[in-house]
Amino acid sequence: MEKITGLTRGGIEWVPMFVHDLAQENCIGCGRCYKVCPRDVFELVERVSDDIDDDFDDDDDDDFSDDSSMVMAISNAMDCIGCQACSKVCPKDCHSHEPSPIAA
């Protein structure tokens, strides 16, 4: 199957690598990928964890659980332009990319 390709200004063929997956278990929610992405591919979501006790009551009286945290998620994968800027700024190497076939 033929992959999407482009040309640099110098005429060299380039294969864009589109975001395929984001490892939320490694994500620290820093937002660097969100800030660098020119196409709004990512969004901040609450981390899903099976080990959070729903009956936990922190004593801070601020209505926030100390166990909740935010992580990035792919919200608009089809808007990705394949620049890989997200993985270049990610301190935890959370993003995986792959080439995309040409749509028929």
pLDDT, mean of each 10-residue run, the chain (104 residues): 94 96 96 96 87 50 62 96 97 97 84
- Expressed in percent and rounded to 5, the helix, strand and coil fractions of the chain are 10, 25, 65
Provide the β-strand partners of residue 14. Answer: 6
Cα-flanking dihedrals φ and ψ of residue 49, to 5°?
Answer: -135, 135
Looking at residue 7, its pLDDT comes to 95
Give pLDDT, residue 2: 93
pLDDT value of position 50: 58
Contact 16, 81 (CB under 8 A): yes
pTM assigned to the model: 0.76
User: What local confidence, expressed as pLDDT, does residue 103 receive?
Assistant: 83
Q: What is the pLDDT at residue 52?
A: 47
CATH number for the domain formed by residue range(s) 6-48+69-98? 3.30.70.20
Beta-carbon count within 10 A of 34 CB: 17
pLDDT at 40: 94
What is the residue-averaged pLDDT of the chain? 87
